[in-house]
Amino acid sequence: MDGQAEIDRTFHGGGVPVNGVAPTAESPLKGFTVAVTSDRRREELASMFMRRGARVITAPMIRIDLMADDQELRRANDHCMAAPADIVVITTGIGFRKWVEAADGWGKREGLLAWLSQTELVARGPKVRGAVRAAGLVEAWAPASEAMAEVLERLLTRDLAGRRIVIQLHGDPLDEVVNALVEAGAEVVTVPVYQLATPTDAVSVERLIRSIIAGHVDCVVFTSAPAAVSMLDAGSLLGVRDELLKAFATTVSAACVGPICAAPFAAAGVSVILPEKARLGGLVRAVGEELPRLRSRHFTVAGHGLEIRGHTVVLDNKSVTLPPAPMAVLRALAEQPGAVLTREELADCLPGHESGRHAVEMAVTRLRSSLRVAGIVQTVVKRGYRFSPDLP
């Protein structure tokens, strides 16, 4: 089964109500396929994109596992609370919530919150700040950038000699941060709440990567830097990292919830869609605004307005969903307006196992039948086919 056909079989939305989710009257993402790579809250994020008309596929690139040994967290908690702390750094909202939930299970929730209320709380960004306030606490400071580097920089401007600093970890031991604080004279206590692990469904990960390279996905959404790193690492393991980066730089948009999440792509020279604020709602809105601008093409052909977006053609403001082969032919022709492409050239663009002159002719026939407008795809006798937009 080819990549687009697999997406057609497994997508979670796109104009059809799924699990009670239907597109709104205004569907800026209709015709586009969006891939969600997060593990946590992926259903919520998928629903938000579906309500905007997108087809959504999910392939978590990482999974969040609580510490296998719950006693390790309990020992860290008891060690923290054995003495007052000067500063407590909360690095993730989910980690903080899990810490409080675990303490509740041990009958120590109120004691933990009381102990935290006597410290200087530093929240690594707005999302963490929300979790802290939901627990009835107030942070002393939170960087707008959500960057641990900014947290460390601020702490190192102070005299830390003899200070006791507690850091809630987020799957990363943060050795550089811990070492820098220790060198500044602080006593550092770490609290490991969860760890990041590779996804269990390697088949879905590989399928998504090959679909991205084949151009069957329009946008891939990331909510954490580890997920972005995991995808690029998976591309390396499959031997297609260069092709994957080329796809992100040309035919597929990456969307990241914030600058920290986008850092792996920035290091690879790939531009991404970023929201103004690092929130899921802002991320969805940014994709809804930017993806049609970046990944759709507008033409006037044979007197008709035609827009190519994702797996859909909008003809005179009416959406027409095309099968993979006709869509591939139209895309190839539209990439070179006015040029004649031979049947052999078009055959190379067909998805899956379809190939040969006959497959191209069948795809053109189905394309014309779906669009029902003469002159959009022209036959050039003994040469091939042509897409000729009207001149301005």
When pLDDT is cut at 50, 70 and 90, the band that residue 13 belongs to is: very low
When pLDDT is cut at 50, 70 and 90, the band that residue 39 belongs to is: confident
Average pLDDT for 50-57: 93
Name the amino acid, one letter, at 351.
Answer: P
CATH code linked to domain 322-386: 1.10.10.10
Q: What is the mean pLDDT of the chain?
A: 87
Higher pLDDT, 13 or 115: 115
CATH code linked to domain 3-62+199-296: 3.40.50.10090
Residue with tokens 């980066």: 245
pLDDT tens for each residue of 165-188: 999 987 777 888 899 999 999 999
CATH 1.10.10.10 in the chain is located at 322-386
Percent of the chain with pLDDT over 90: 58
Average pLDDT for 38-48: 87
When pLDDT is cut at 50, 70 and 90, the band that residue 9 belongs to is: very low
Is the pLDDT at 241 greater than 70, yes or no?
Answer: yes
Query: Alpha-carbon distance 56 to 44, whole Å?
Result: 12
Q: What pLDDT is attached to residue 144?
A: 78
Is the pLDDT at 27 greater than 70, yes or no?
Answer: yes
pTM, two decimals, is: 0.71
Q: What pLDDT is attached to residue 246?
A: 94
CATH code linked to domain 65-197: 3.40.50.10090
Is the pLDDT at 136 greater than 80, yes or no?
Answer: yes
Average pLDDT for 208-218: 90
CATH 3.40.50.10090 in the chain is located at 3-62+199-296, 65-197
Q: What pLDDT is attached to residue 24?
A: 46
Residue with tokens 């067909």: 350
Q: What pLDDT is attached to residue 17?
A: 35
